[in-house]
Amino acid sequence: MRHLLLPVPRWLFGLTFSLLACGVLTAAANGRAEEAPTNKPAGPAWERIAPYFEPPAEFAAKYGDYRSPLRFDDGRSVESAADWQKRRTELLAKWRNLLGQWPPLITKPQVEILESVRRESFQQLRIRFKWTPQETTTGYLLIPAGEKPAPAVVTVYYEPETAIGLKVPDRDFALQLARRGFVALSIGTTEATAAKTYSLYYPSIDDAQVQPLSMLGYAAANAWHVLAQRPEVDSTRIGIVGHSFGGKWAMFASCLFDKFAAAAWSDPGIVFDDTRGSINYWEPWYLGYHPRPWRKRGLITAENPARGLYPQLRAAGRDLHELHALMAPRPFLVSGGSEDPPRRWEALNHTVAVNRLLGQSSRVAMTNRPDHAPNEESNAVIYAFFEHFLRDGVK
């Protein structure tokens, strides 16, 4: 049975509700007042997404065991927006040192057009460009008719064909966004996926100096520059979206590269969880890189331990909520499924607190569905999210 997303009237925004029992997305209001949707323009996109900026009552003002990002490494509290800028610099530097320093960004990419076809109401270009200092990639650029310059979104996955609607249903983010007037660039790790190495390794797979998941973020940052130099694109309104593997990729890209104006992460596992096989940041193609032969794929056990950076991060008490905080005040949406249930608000509330310090509200949202796979209803919220924050010019 298809999951339904019911329209929510305004008078319900202040109530807590859960519709999972009916197989629908959950949303909750009655959360922290500072995340109430205030001073937002009315419109269909906002009406669709407004309920999802509040946690369920049981998770309101709950922060779990996560160390607050509003505390400097020396223990001092962050008390002002100026303090936060210093703390953000400290936090970003710490994570970049842990993950490995990126090579210089490719800010003036040379883009080769391999094929151009007319499709529906947009032009579809198959393009090739350098996304690391050593490697090129082939992706698809969808350019719709309509007013220009337009907002744009990078979509990331195992290969670029899915997002343009040629493979798995409900993962066609680039196609659906192009239909809504967005320029869309779809990229993916086609060759690495075929080889079951999945990621990017710099300078080589046998001597990676950057954690592979961070290197994917670097590649997405270079894809941002591909879009930014297009005359059809407003470079101040470029977002990023991905599901699962692509959700991890989109999360690291948007957190580590602050030119992405908004981001949607579909059920990546937004924090570490060693009990979930799909939240597998310990694998060597994510944050557990080590020279080959690689550990056997699967959960961490005494016989098959994690290696590389990941166990060091866990031992130090670090978690991905510190990266989320780097998004503030940029908006992001967690399109949660089986790996990101409502209790993930305990991590998200830390970024809510950062935004509150910055005088911002309604910047952190989460939907929840029972299954890992996205569906038509959960994706509709993603599209409305980008329409509100990128297309409609909301600051």
Nearest to 318 by CA among 211, 170, 167, 235: 211
Q: Are 243 and 168 in contact (CB under 8 A)?
A: no
Decide if 380 is inside a domain.
no
**What pLDDT score was predicted for residue 40?**
52
Sign of the Cα torsion 204, 206, 209, 212 reads positive
**What pLDDT score was predicted for residue 361?**
96
Which residue range forms the structural domain that includes residue 129?
A: 88-345
Compute the half-sphere exposure of residue 383: CA atoms within 13 Å on the CB side of its CA: 22
**What pLDDT score was predicted for residue 14?**
34
β-sheet bridge partners, residue 17: 27
For 296-363, give the DSSP string.
Answer: PSSS--SSS---THHHHHHHTT--THHHHHTTTTS-EEEEE-SSS-GGGHHHHHHHHHHHHHTT--S-
In whole angstroms, give the CA distance from residue 196 to residue 216: 15
- Any idea how long the chain is? 395
The torsion region of residue 330 among left (phi > 0), alpha (psi -120 to 50) and beta comes to beta
Nearest to 389 by CA among 363, 367, 368: 363
**What pLDDT score was predicted for residue 121?**
93
In whole angstroms, give the CA distance from residue 282 to residue 323: 17
Decide if 244 is inside a domain.
yes
In the block, residue with structure tokens 């859960």? 18
In whole angstroms, give the CA distance from residue 62 to residue 57: 10
Decide if 136 is inside a domain.
yes
**What pLDDT score was predicted for residue 147?**
87
**What pLDDT score was predicted for residue 43?**
86
Decide if 31 is inside a domain.
no
In whole angstroms, give the CA distance from residue 376 to residue 135: 35
For the chain, residues with pLDDT lower than 50 are 1-24, 26-39
Q: Six-digit token pair at 39?
A: 């001073």
Decide if 240 is inside a domain.
yes
**What pLDDT score was predicted for residue 15?**
31
Decide if 147 is inside a domain.
yes
CATH code for the domain of 215: 3.40.50.1820
- What angle, 0 to 180 degrees and rounded to 10, lies between the N-to-C axes of helices 212-228 and 245-256? 70
> Domain total for the chain?
1
CA distances (Å), 33 to each of 1, 12, 77, 347, in order? 36, 15, 22, 18
In the block, residue with structure tokens 């529906």? 120
In whole angstroms, give the CA distance from residue 333 to residue 317: 25
Decide if 270 is inside a domain.
yes
